[in-house]
Structure 1
């Protein structure tokens, strides 16, 4: 039986994927809600995961995903991939352990997605794209062909990344943005065409 790390919005959406795919879920792992129930399932602390138990991380924040994956792997957990039956995964596409692919997502030919990646509902990823560890593609986003999303990068809802672009490590593409040029690491871009978000002025 699968345990889902995170009992918030993405965790509950992961449960929806599991139910649609016929995958049994034992409960959630969440320090904040441990001891209670969510959607009728028990919530335990992540440290309680038994060795050899399958898990999936249902949390949007890549940094938190990295921390939890390290904790759960050290405890002997087994990262497991969940794919909604209404998602399309084309031939020669590879999903590393721990990936979450929601309903309506379309992964085209020869895509590679690294560990603990997330492609949310109705998002698309074009042919020959490479998504490194813990990348998130939010609902309705469109990642064109031959794109490279470096580890911990996020593409926001309804955003578009044009053919052949690179989005750097831990970069964030804002909702509805159109990426026409490479995005440097640890940069937030917004708008169409996408431009770096101006720094917030210091509070007087």
Structure 2
């Protein structure tokens, strides 16, 4: 299996670490080894970020059609940027690859969309649905029966309580909390450390305890 990473920032470094852990733990299935073809990014990637891991930038995202690979991962931390990358990648024949770090814990009935990324020490409880290209970051907690839509980002240490709903492309900041049964609308952003105690509409920024529209 040969994968190309789309994006060369900090999130790409986290994703690469998850792939390295999967190879080290042989969690990919019999005879499957994940080979990273390289990084495609529109901006120049500092060689020192990935060079010591044997990975280099091999072009920009528009070069995807020329890359010898079978799968891609959209390695952009922010939802709108990640969606833009996926929209461009969908013009090509490569398939999105779903990443689940071997140190993440998932209930057996979790449903995960194509291209989603679940990083180390994330905890995903029963009957959760996670959309395509969503990212559940390091140490985040998602409670039972939550609905996580496409392109959502749940940042490190965030806690999504049971029966919550996160709309397309919303972002939950580091160490923020969404209380049980509440919803965060599409493309909204919840600030780091905020506590969501009421429904958050689409396309707003909410901060504080309790979280209020900025």
1:145 to 139, 162, 165: 162
CA-based RMSD of the aligned residues comes to 1.6
Shift of 1:4: 1.0
Q: Distance in 1 between matches of 2:39 and 2:49?
A: 8
2:101 to 73, 84, 89: 84
8 Å CA contact 2:9, 2:45 repeated in 1 = no
Cα distance change on mapping 1:34 and 1:77 into 2, 3 Å: farther
- Using the size of structure 2 for normalisation, the TM-score is 0.88
State the match for 1:28 in structure 2: 39
Q: Secondary structure at the match of 1:27?
A: strand
Q: Over residues 145-189 of structure 1, what are the superposed CA-to-partner deviations in whole Å (9 max), with x where a residue is unaligned? A: 111100010000000000000000111010001101000101111
Shift of 1:34: 6.9
Q: Distance in 1 between matches of 2:193 and 2:207?
A: 8
Q: Distance in 2 between matches of 1:69 and 1:76?
A: 12
Shift of 1:101: 0.6
Shift of 1:39: 1.2
The residue correspondences of 1:13-162 to structure 2 (distance < 5 A) are 13-22=14-23, 23-33=34-44, 38-40=49-51, 41-43=55-57, 44-50=59-65, 53-162=70-179
Shift of 1:193: 1.1
Q: Distance in 2 between matches of 1:9 and 1:20?
A: 17
State the match for 2:3 in structure 1: 2
State the match for 1:202 in structure 2: none
List alignment gaps of at least 5 residues for structure 1: 198-204
Q: Distance in 2 between matches of 1:10 and 1:58?
A: 6
Q: Secondary structure at the match of 2:56?
A: strand
State the match for 1:12 in structure 2: 13
Q: How many residues align?
A: 197
Q: Comparing both structures, which one devotes a greater share of its residues to helix?
A: 2
- Using the size of structure 1 for normalisation, the TM-score is 0.92
List alignment gaps of at least 5 residues for structure 2: 24-33
Q: Over residues 91-132 of structure 1, what are the superposed CA-to-partner deviations in whole Å (9 max), with x where a residue is unaligned? A: 110111111111000011111111100000000001110111
8 Å CA contact 1:34, 1:45 repeated in 2 = no
